[in-house]
Amino acid sequence: MDRAVPARNLRRIVLTEDWLDDTRRSYDTVAQNYADLVRDAAGRASYLRGALDMFASLAEGPVADVGCGPGHFTAYLARAGADAFGIDLSPGMIAVARREHPGLRFEVGSMTALELGDASVGGLLSFFALIHVPDAGVPAVLAEFHRVVRPGGLVLVGFHAGQGSRLKTEGYGGHPMRVHVHRRTPEVVGAWLEAAGFTVEAQLREGTAAYLFARRPGG
């Protein structure tokens, strides 16, 4: 993270950098192919499934799946008993989510400026969405998470564990993409969550994936 950037300017940077447009266009392009690939992701990964089940059982009140993609994890949470709804930057992804899960609510929106009220959700899931946010933008995104989660509310973040970044130019059926994929250690992501005002309570690892549970104090 560029520590020379004042915190008050992080939100402006997140809203104006090209990575948002690149991410939106890329996932619009691959939406259906991506949905076909990840539809049974929870069924194939036991620890991921366990993390989702635990989150659904602990989160009280409405749950926002931020960066929901085609809605596969939103639907899983709903089947597990959570009052879940999805938000994604890509209109193409939201169109697929609405088509495949017509009984659930999905909205186009950005994690950099969530159209949710302060302290309006009891839980927030963000699986493999922060991986496209540049380091300088992560604190502002996590500040948004903190703003919308109630005191006592739970956040579950999933990401690719490791170090380094790469530019992804093709994927999901050979379609062109332009997104940076950032790998981070649980220690780095945990420190960012703590700095945003959360308390990290637990972590799980499954291969190269990491899952952190964090809670907004209070409640």
Q: For residue 103, count other CB atoms closer than 10 A to its CB.
A: 6
Give the pair of three-digit tokens for residue 167.
């530019």
The pTM (predicted TM-score) of the whole model is: 0.88
Q: How confident is the model at residue 15 (pLDDT cuts 50, 70, 90)?
A: very low
- Minimum mean pLDDT among 143-147, 172-176, 214-218: which range? 172-176
Per-residue pLDDT for 39 more than 90?
no
Residue range 113-122, pLDDT digits in tens: 999 999 999 9
Give the pair of three-digit tokens for residue 151.
């005191």
Would you state the pLDDT for residue 8? 38
Q: In order of start, what are the domains of the chain with their CATH numbers?
A: 7-215 (3.40.50.150)
- Minimum mean pLDDT among 30-34, 69-73, 111-115, 186-190: which range? 30-34
Nearest to 41 by CA among 70, 82, 63, 78: 70
